[in-house]
């Protein structure tokens, strides 16, 4: 906003003023104090945008869920591997950091956690297809190495994929 811009410019002017003065015993303290204040305002303004854009953010969250569903119902995992946060950020024309922050603030879970949850959900469905080996399922989900799939599955579910398969 115009007010926010004025605050930032005012602080930058103060920092510049101190840098142009003859250095005395107060210079460093004043420069650091103004830099800290500048950074505090930056964090405030960054956080505020998540609140003021709630409606837009919900659209991004919904798009993320749809993109996640589409990714795993396509052949992308086999061709491109397990999806990354940056993939979904690019799909929505956002930076990875901003996208990750937005998802975390809106849902309470990180984008990476959402991706892993979806991956485990799809894996649980595929595991009961006894016509496919666990290695084939791991490759279908985008894992280069089946042991990475096994490790993630055990970590998230509490059972190895093979143990889980035996339960069903």
Per-residue pLDDT tens for 15-56? 999 999 888 999 999 999 999 999 999 999 887 876 656 666
Model pTM greater than 0.75?
Answer: no
- Kindly state the tokens that stand for 157: 């579910």
**Helices first, then strands: H and E counts in the chain:** 10, 0
Taking the C-alpha atoms of residue 139 and residue 65, their distance in angstroms, rounded to an integer, is: 22
Q: Would you tell me how many other CB atoms lie within 10 Å of the CB of residue 102?
A: 22
Q: How far is CA 165 from CA 14, 27, 150, 153, in A?
A: 65, 68, 12, 12
Q: Contact at 8 Å (CB) between 82 and 142?
A: yes
**Over 80: is that where the pLDDT of 156 sits?**
yes
Task: Summarize pLDDT for 88-132 with one digit per residue, the tens.
Answer: 999 999 999 999 999 998 899 999 999 999 999 999 999 999 999
- Which three-class secondary structure state does DSSP give residue 123? helix
């Amino acid at each position: 906003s115009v007010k926010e811009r004025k605050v930032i410019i005012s602080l930058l002017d103060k920092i510049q003023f101190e840098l142009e003065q003859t250095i005395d015993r107060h210079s460093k303290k004043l420069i650091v104090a103004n830099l800290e204040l500048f950074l505090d305002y930056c964090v405030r303004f960054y956080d505020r945008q998540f609140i003021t854009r709630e409606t837009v953010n919900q659209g991004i969250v919904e798009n993320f869920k749809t993109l996640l569903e589409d990714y795993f119902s396509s052949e992308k995992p086999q061709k491109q591997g397990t999806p990354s946060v940056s993939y979904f950020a690019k799909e929505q024309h956002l930076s990875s950091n901003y996208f990750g922050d937005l998802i975390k603030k809106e849902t309470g879970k990180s984008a990476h956690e959402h991706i892993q949850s979806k991956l485990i959900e799809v894996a649980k469905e595929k595991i009961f297809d006894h016509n496919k080996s666990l290695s084939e399922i791991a490759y279908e989900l985008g894992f280069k190495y089946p042991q990475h799939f096994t490790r993630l599955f055990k970590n998230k579910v509490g059972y190895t994929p093979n143990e889980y398969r035996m339960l069903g």
